[in-house]
């Protein structure tokens, strides 16, 4: 029974962390927010989704509540992705 309060606290802590993660928005939603900068990634191995997740992490590092993906590309015949996103508050 002493473990129950610890588990409850851990679950709530995890939920609050997820609530603080940057949220992807589209161009129409971006018009309602203030752009505060941009982020970019390169050399991301995997898929388009991996590149978008890397952009989301960069937006989180900048404490931006929102980000809009501008470009995700796989230049040439490479397995490494690059991407750019604007960040908003």
Q: Which sequence spans correspond to the domains of the chain?
A: 3-88
> How far lies 52's CA from each of 13, 17, 22, 64, 84, in Å?
25, 19, 12, 15, 9
Distance of CA 82 to the CA centre of its chain: 14
How far apart CA 73 and CA 47 sit, in angstroms, is 10
Tens place of pLDDT per residue across the chain (89 aa): 554 444 445 554 554 445 579 999 999 999 999 999 999 999 999 999 999 999 999 999 999 999 999 999 998 878 899 999 999 99
CATH class assigned to 3-88: alpha beta
Q: Whose CA is closest to 21, among 60, 71, 67, 54?
A: 60
> What's the whole-model pTM score?
0.77
């Amino acid at each position: 029974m002493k473990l129950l309060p610890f588990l409850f606290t851990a679950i709530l802590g995890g939920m609050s962390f997820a609530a603080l993660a940057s949220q992807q928005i589209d161009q129409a939603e971006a018009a309602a927010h203030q752009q505060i900068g941009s982020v970019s990634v390169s050399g991301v191995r995997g898929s388009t989704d991996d590149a978008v997740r890397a952009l989301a992490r960069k937006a989180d590092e900048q404490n931006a509540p929102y980000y809009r993906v501008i470009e995700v590309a796989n230049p040439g015949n490479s397995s490494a992705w690059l991407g750019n996103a604007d960040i908003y508050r």
